[in-house]
Structure 1
Amino acid sequence: MFGENEKNLSKQKDFWIEFFAGRRDGGHRSSAEEFLSMEAREKLFHLDGGKTLLDFGCGAGELLVYYAPEYEKMIGVDFSASMLDEASKRIRERKCRNISLIQADDKTVWNKLECSFDRITAAGVIQYLTLQEIDNFIFNASSCLNKGGKIVLFDILDPRLYPLWKIGLFSQDASFWNILRKIGFEFKVVLAASLNNRPRDILGFAHNPNAIKKVADKYSFETTFVKSMYYEYKYHAIIEQTKG
């Protein structure tokens, strides 16, 4: 049973790798620069300073270039070559000379780093990791974190709110019949995914805040959870070294 579960998770990972292989945008709610600027400001507020930053899963660099004026040195990491190609173009256009890019995933990135960081962040990425992979990520990140540093995991799917968002409960045109139609649509999606051995949800796994907290507690971190300002079905986890 355990082996079958591992096999299914491996198939899901392969699907997501293929899905993102040729992507050139980070999947933000809007690609308008005005929106990206506002989203970046919210995230900078929670990052709350530091001089060096590692942005894991930086995608096309939409937020990375807005972080740049606030940091002396930044490294953006993504496994997708096409995403990094777009990020490189953005960095050149904005003349951000304090940003370097690395192609790696959550397992290989740590051996490619040559320094430690005041802030390690990931936005819209944790949903593609299992809880055990999140555990490994926090453990590895902790060894690359400067004293007084923070790990900030942005935009984690909230299992309490995400299903409601999917059926349109937060939509401006929410009605009984619209919600019913969306429930039917989601049922078909789940059924088709099961029959084709694909992930039930292209957006990945929803993780309960308590599960994230248990992992952070394990490595003696303090965790604060904050609701996402621009994605009503997501939350942020601010993971800090314990004081004293």
Structure 2
Amino acid sequence: MFGESEKNVSKLKDFWVEFFADRRDGGHRFSDEEFISMEAREKLFHLGGGKTLLDFGCGAGELLVYYAPEYEQLVGVDFSASMLDEASKKIREKKCGNILLIQADDKTVWDKLEYSFDRITAAGVVQYLTLQEIDNFIFNASNYLNKGGKIVLFDILDPRLYPLWKIGLFSQDANFLSILRKIAFEFKVILSASLNSHPRDILGFSHNPSAIKKIADKYNFEITFVKSMYYEYKYHAIIFRTSEAQEF
């Protein structure tokens, strides 16, 4: 029988699955090609090479088609059929013949893979996973990671900065009254979510870097944290093994 916290997490999962079921965009800060191109270049820099890439939570494929010229073979994974439909359109438009799309979630994806990868990445996905699910993801990913490979988790919500962004402290026109209004609005959102059994935040969970590091340490990975260039309240986790480190 599920405990109360497990029941709540299950309800949140169901809400997000329904929320994303018919979505056709990846939720980037800006949807124009110039911004997506800049974001992709930043992420490619942190991916740092490799020949094969697994992009978990590829969404509508906005970043995936920019990754394609840099890799010999790519696999994009998402649980949303509508997102994958959009990704498929982009792949055809860009003539990216080296991309395979798979419909799966963080639990089912591993049984659908036919080979291992030099890079395994997820962008804007970790916030919808609990710490235990992140632990499972990193463990499973490690079994599909080639020697010298990296797991790169992009755009993790930072609990130290995200609340400040939500109340407008990073806004150029922030002032006392605007911050008070945003605080009041966030309070209403939290109250409404509690009454309607919805998540308090549609963007999901925020995770402290120290918690991600504990998981990486558990599986003998090194980890580097980098602040996102384009989302001031997010950070990236670059997970890898040194040549001396043994696999778990």
Aligned to 1:237: 237
The residue type paired with residue 29 of structure 1 is: R
CA contact (8 A) 1:220 1:242 kept: no
**Are 1:213 and 2:242 an aligned pair?**
no
Aligned to 1:99: 99
CA distance in structure 1 between the partners assigned to 2:243 and 2:156 by the alignment: 25
CA contact (8 A) 1:57 1:76 kept: yes
C-alpha displacement at 1:2, in angstroms? 7.0
Q: Give aligned-pair identity as a percent.
A: 84
TM-score normalised to structure 1 length: 0.99
Q: Could you report, residue by residue, the CA deviation over 1:123-168 in whole angstroms, capped at 9, with x for unpaired residues?
A: 0000000000000000000000000000000000000000000000
C-alpha displacement at 1:236, in angstroms? 0.1
Aligned to 1:74: 74
C-alpha displacement at 1:241, in angstroms? 1.3
CA contact (8 A) 1:84 1:103 kept: yes
Q: Could you report, residue by residue, the CA deviation over 1:177-217 in whole angstroms, capped at 9, with x for unpaired residues?
A: 00000000000000000111110100000000000000000
CA contact (8 A) 1:36 1:63 kept: yes
**Are 1:123 and 2:123 an aligned pair?**
yes
CA distance in structure 2 between the partners assigned to 1:117 and 1:7 by the alignment: 34
C-alpha displacement at 1:86, in angstroms? 0.1
1:1-244 to 2 correspondences below 5 Å = 3-244=3-244
Unaligned ranges ≥5, structure 1: none
Q: Could you report, residue by residue, the CA deviation over 1:214-237 in whole angstroms, capped at 9, with x for unpaired residues?
A: 000000000000000000000000
The residue type paired with residue 139 of structure 2 is: F
The residue type paired with residue 128 of structure 1 is: Y
CA distance in structure 1 between the partners assigned to 2:192 and 2:13 by the alignment: 17
CA distance in structure 1 between the partners assigned to 2:172 and 2:22 by the alignment: 33
Q: How many residues align?
A: 244
Task: Kindly report structure 1 stretches of 4+ aligned residues shifted beyond 2 Å.
Answer: none
SS of equivalent residue, structure 1 residue 22: coil
Unaligned ranges ≥5, structure 2: none
SS of equivalent residue, structure 1 residue 195: helix
CA distance in structure 1 between the partners assigned to 2:166 and 2:2 by the alignment: 29
SS of equivalent residue, structure 2 residue 232: coil
The residue type paired with residue 208 of structure 2 is: N
CA distance in structure 2 between the partners assigned to 1:109 and 1:242 by the alignment: 26
TM-score normalised to structure 2 length: 0.97
CA distance in structure 1 between the partners assigned to 2:224 and 2:89 by the alignment: 35
